Structure 1
């Protein structure tokens, strides 16, 4: 039997019925036309290839499920996470808009990579706050497309993650406080200096760039749909959340594409940074207080992205919170599996939530999980902090990955 793991589960009281259409409010955030544009652009980037969808039959058997599929984002563009699909795409979109506004010319990413409008682009600065992966993506995008980049990290972001951002040529500024404090500092400095914020969270008056970020994430969801066995769909998706952008992008894409056939959608958060769970309880976007001191650093967010909530408020079927120990257990489970998978602490939240639900009869019942269930997970990062990964798993990623 699966191990009992402490968790909280909240079936969404405002969840849309299975026959509810993907409506105007959701399409204002994510839609097929914008997705087609993002997919067409990203698919032409150097180094693009769909990341693997890994079957985990042994784990499915152990948990009492029919199938588990794990979308492994650890190799995405060499950045170690799915974030390249969002942050870098948003950098390109922002630069393209500025070039169009100043010159009247429409450009693609290939034009910028080739140095077209080099002088104009070099005079622009993009910035954001990050727990690590989004900042790395924005910095990579800035280097790829030729603009300047300043990234803000808060006081508990590891030195390894700081260095990984700096390695792409960004100026990295460490600030006091938590992630949400660094978001405000980045916005204030950008307004004062005339920089462009490329944030993965939205707030009043700031929605266009986060929408681009989320639309880029949907490329990953579409890849997974195409990689599933022919004629087979998942019954459930468990996905981890920080501000909600990743979760909303996946939820929206499956809802728009599959309608009533879409899987049950479960959002999983750290118990110490559960802004979406708190918002679901309150029925409105709600700030989660405290230091947000979870080991799942990429999910350590206390304020919901408003446009992500616009999708998840009715699109999610349930919200869960898990302790840090659950994430560590999921990392070790994947490392010891067949095949072995390298997954970082922020990338395994969905799996940790699934393991917790399967260890509790009431949660299984409320989520409709049984021997016929087929679950899709999104492993959003690999060992983006190699030192921490080795510490938590007990061996480095190189000792986990199968030899080619």
Structure 2
């Protein structure tokens, strides 16, 4: 199902606050911060010529965030970046001078960080990033996880020294509980979603994601004509779409937001024309995208720069995991978690429908960009769905050059 953006703000300039958050200067600063990360390296950009030919498009490029900062997910860019920024800002305030990231490990900065606790709710990946960032700067982390988060994902967060707090219900319930407890304890909420009165920190998280676009535009010979990006609350979709709009202007690509059909909060928000909270139903296999209410900041951006919204089904997500693990032709094998390939699943759905192809002007000249947002962040679940362990999927460098 495809829904074109009919919002009154569609194609309007970004709100000045959002433009400042996602512009080139901000992205430069994110990349500067990344140079101080021990395991930082640009993630691979793979080409899929066999799949492109099969779908009748010119090229497909996949940015593989499964290699990001040792955390296996694009979320590594957001939460930890926001934590570092918040610690440096607090140190600047207390020490009475501007503290740069070069001083992050200075004793006086570490002492201030030690008195700070970063809290967040997570499906798995964002919490791991916040916990890693807290460990990096010497702060504490309290991570709230709902009942649907697997024990393997909980353990992956806990290994960074975070306090893990289980919450009954859904991701949205854990968001509310994290905000409540943090307010009572004086902790700082580092959320990747926003609500009325809480926008700046989610904006910093989104700002971290601009590194994906900066790297991609350098890796590509030509900018993409079409981009399909999956959404939970919408943070990465908004960051990618917003930065592309600012960087490319009138030459920006057609941007499609892809939701799981079982958790389509952005699709339904686009249909309603304003943010809506949808009813929780049967869980989706796309666990990292299982969100029932959009981020207000993300929607403010997407209402202006997203061109269309669509949904994919459970079988689409599992099929793309398997296709990427067992590629055709010279396509490289890619490990994509349950949510990682949802954007590519959206492209496959769109390419197979003549009406949608025509609406989006998808054709043999189209240069399509998608993001594998996560690797096998739950290896047991991956093996169950793909029939192979992630370490057995022979990821190669074939097709890695744009």
Shorter-chain TM-score range: over 0.9
> Is 1:25–1:310's contact at 8 Å kept on the other side of the alignment?
no
Q: 2:293 aligns with which of 287, 299, 303?
A: 303
1:238 to 225, 228, 241: 228
Q: Shift in Å at residue 14 of structure 1?
A: 2.8
- What is the CA distance between 1:130 and its match in structure 2? 0.2
CA distance, structure 2, for counterparts of residue 401 and residue 78 of structure 1: 18
- The correspondence for 1:278, drawn from 258, 268, 285, is 268
Q: Which residue of 2 aligns with 1:3?
A: none
Which residue is equivalent to 2:145? Answer: 153
Alpha-carbon deviation of 1:113? 3.4
Give, in whole Å, the separation in 1 of the partners of 2:352 and 2:166.
Answer: 40
- Determine which of 193, 201, 204 is the counterpart of 1:201: 193
Ranges in structure 2 where 5+ consecutive residues have no aligned partner: 398-402
Q: What displacement does 1:64 show?
A: 1.1
Q: Which residue of 2 aligns with 1:269?
A: 259
Task: Classify 1:73/1:15 alpha carbon distance in 2 versus 1 (closer, same or farther; 3 Å).
Answer: farther
Residue 4 (structure 1) aligns with: none
Structure 1 residues 201-242: Cα deviation after superposition (integer angstroms, max 9, x where no partner): 11111111111100110011110011002xx12110000000
Counterpart of 1:293 in structure 2 is 283
Report whether the alignment pairs 1:383 with 2:381. no
Residue 54 of structure 1, CA deviation: 0.5
Q: Tell me, yes or no, if the aligned pair for 2:121 and 2:191 is still in contact at 8 Å.
A: yes
Asked whether the 8 Å contact 1:202–1:306 carries over to 2, the reply is: yes
Aligned residue in 2 for 1:143: 135
| Alpha carbons 2:337, 2:382 under 8 Å: kept | yes
Q: What's the secondary structure of 1:149's corresponding residue?
A: strand
Q: How far is the alpha carbon of 1:361 from its aligned partner?
A: 1.1
What is the DSSP-based 3-state SS (H/G/I as helix, E as strand, rest coil) of the residue aligned with 1:75?
helix
CA–CA distance in structure 2, aligned partners of residues 118 and 39 of structure 1: 22
Residue 324 of structure 1 deviates from its aligned partner by: 1.1
Counting matched residue pairs gives 394
Q: 1:23-172 alignment to 2 at 5 Å?
A: 24=16, 26-27=18-19, 29-172=21-164
Change (3 A) 1:155 1:250: same
2:333–2:396 CA contact under 8 A, matched in 1: no
| Structure 1 gap ranges (5+) | 1-7
Shift, 1:68, TM fit: 0.1
Taking structure 2 as the reference length, the TM-score comes to: 0.94
Residue 388 of structure 2: aligned partner: 395
Please report the RMSD computed on the Cα atoms of aligned residues, expressed in angstroms: 1.6
Distance in 1 (CA, whole Å) between partners of 2:9 and 2:226 is 15
Q: 1:84 to 1:361 in 2, by over 3 A?
A: same
Distance 1:80 1:114, change over 3 A: farther
Whether the 8 Å contact between 1:30 and 1:249 is mirrored in structure 2 is yes
Aligned twin of 2:350:
357
Change (3 A) 1:58 1:311: same
SS in 2 for 1:339: coil
CA distance in 1, matches of 2:210, 2:129: 16
Following superposition, the deviation at residue 39 of structure 1 comes to 2.0
Write the deviation string for residues 131-169 of structure 1: whole angstroms up to 9, x where unpaired: 000000000001111001010000011111000000111
Instruction: Identify the match of residue 367 of structure 2 among 366, 371, 374.
Output: 374
State the partner residue of 2:400: none
SS at match of 2:111: helix
